[in-house]
Structure 1
């Protein structure tokens, strides 16, 4: 048996029109998808369709006839909510690619995994160990910034599940381009934060991107969430730009988590749109063999 796991994300720190096309910066959290690859009869299911497609792609990538993959059985154990903007599918695909390459006796790079993933669907940058600006549609642009900041977050899980593929069919290029100047400002602030290891600046950049995305996928109460969390000492707020989760970015010494949770649970917009609040930590990205 070969096993691999890959972390989820809590949306993106930044996503939008950057340097002439759509790009994003995701970050990884300590919530995982685990895949197990064994020889045996394949069990087809809708939840594994993309993963089996990835197995075939890895075989083809290494010039091994894909028909030989029919003798492989894949099982998945995922703790990542589906359709909320937490990179559940990307985590499944990245872990599957790594496990399949290992089965073939190959060492596959994260850039190679990224290239294979975007052939199947839009891909989050949690496939990379470092925090990364990534062309999630074509895979044509990759810029690494180093390891994730050592921050914490409260994840507000939305009630709505969004099909990313269907969402992508909405014609939104014009709106994305209109929001471009805001995204450039966000990216500049983010890169300043990376240089100085200032998590607060990175979180402020995420807040700018979150608000810019209101013109694309509106989140009821987002402005109030930002105001309340920052009043409680949080550094900023990020969102899933094509999903329903919201991340409250903070450091323990500044953020009154207990007061924030107590207050937000009484807000009508929270009761209507969110089903839970969970605490996570930022972790290194990328799929790993276990």
Structure 2
């Protein structure tokens, strides 16, 4: 119903119930959720290849990581009351990444609160530490509206730890100590994995020297194997890549042996697996498949690994 006020302007009468509904709706529209800035980074399921790479007359630890669709997250809530020492307790490297990032970009953080979450267990060979750092850098980029170049990300990581190549969007031959991309591959390889954790944790830094000594002793074999791995990626040949992963795992048995490697090797063809993958400086190992196993095969794999006293996990890998 329309009515006119003293100025002759028409208005529609609104019932009390309708007025209350409109007021509630107006409040809901203005009561928006708080702004949250987030950074995300995938982890790895070990390496398809790890070995020595010769550069400038020195041996370095090189690797071609196997990306896995499991992630680390870092969130920042501006305006919230927080203390970084408490918000990121136990995440000293992430706090160092924040410090280095702010110094590099000449920025200061507004008051706020940090929050971290991850699907990547620590010390297992899933690049959990590096994924945390990259997620932190990406979160800060969101806060400041920046896009830190890949080379700068590598520089920031270099000041913190020996890292993995999880900040890249492709497979790469990467020097973990120098944080240097030697060669990248455009191969869009998707593989399926069934893996177990043999238990315990591994500190990557402590293994650097034993690995380099091992590489020096077996340098010719590693040189041949690296060339085969590069050729497999250049051909985009998933079966050859899986074979290279198996060979790399076999070579690693001399320095970082996996308890169940031989058991997996003996049953590989029975399960139709195309390769074996390990975390060379971690506690994971498992089978690789070019084609995803069906439900019956997944059950057979689960029974096999349960018989070894381990619970297996299935994951899709690749970028």
Query: What is the TM-score of this pair, normalised by structure 1?
Result: 0.86
1:185 aligns to 2:224 (yes or no): yes
1:78-117 aligned at under 5 Å gives the runs 78-117=118-157
1:120 aligns to 2:160 (yes or no): yes
**CA deviation string 1:185-210 (max 9, x = no partner):** 32222222223221110011111111
Find the aligned partners of 1:183 and 1:46 in 2 and give their Cα distance.
Answer: 40
User: Alpha-carbon deviation of 1:147?
Assistant: 4.3
Runs of 4+ in structure 1 off by over 6 angstroms are: none
Counterpart contact for 1:10–1:247, Cα < 8 Å: no
User: Alpha-carbon deviation of 1:141?
Assistant: 3.9
**CA deviation string 1:128-167 (max 9, x = no partner):** 1000110111123431112441211112122111122333
- The 1:277–1:203 alpha-carbon spacing in structure 2 relative to 1, beyond 3 Å, is same
SS at match of 1:181: helix
Match of 1:221 among 260, 267, 281: 260
Find the aligned partners of 1:12 and 1:151 in 2 and give their Cα distance.
Answer: 13
Task: Name the structure 2 match of 1:248.
Answer: 287
User: Alpha-carbon deviation of 1:88?
Assistant: 0.6
1:265 aligns to 2:306 (yes or no): yes
Counterpart contact for 2:49–2:63, Cα < 8 Å: yes
SS at match of 1:220: coil
**CA deviation string 1:25-76 (max 9, x = no partner):** 1121111111101234224244322111111111111133xxx348453211
Counterpart contact for 1:148–1:282, Cα < 8 Å: no
Counterpart contact for 2:192–2:292, Cα < 8 Å: no
SS at match of 2:190: coil
- 5+ residue gaps, structure 1: 285-290
1:1-290 aligned at under 5 Å gives the runs 1-19=36-54, 20-39=59-78, 40-44=81-85, 45-64=88-107, 68-69=108-109, 71-168=111-208, 170-252=209-291, 256-266=297-307, 270-271=308-309, 275-284=310-319
User: Alpha-carbon deviation of 1:105?
Assistant: 2.6
The alignment of Structure 1 onto Structure 2 pairs a total of residues equal to 274
Report the aligned-residue RMSD: 2.1
State the structure with more CA Rg: 2
Find the aligned partners of 1:126 and 1:202 in 2 and give their Cα distance.
Answer: 19
User: Alpha-carbon deviation of 1:173?
Assistant: 2.2
Counterpart contact for 1:228–1:260, Cα < 8 Å: no
Quick one: higher RCO (CA 8 Å, sep 6+), 1 or 2?
Answer: 1
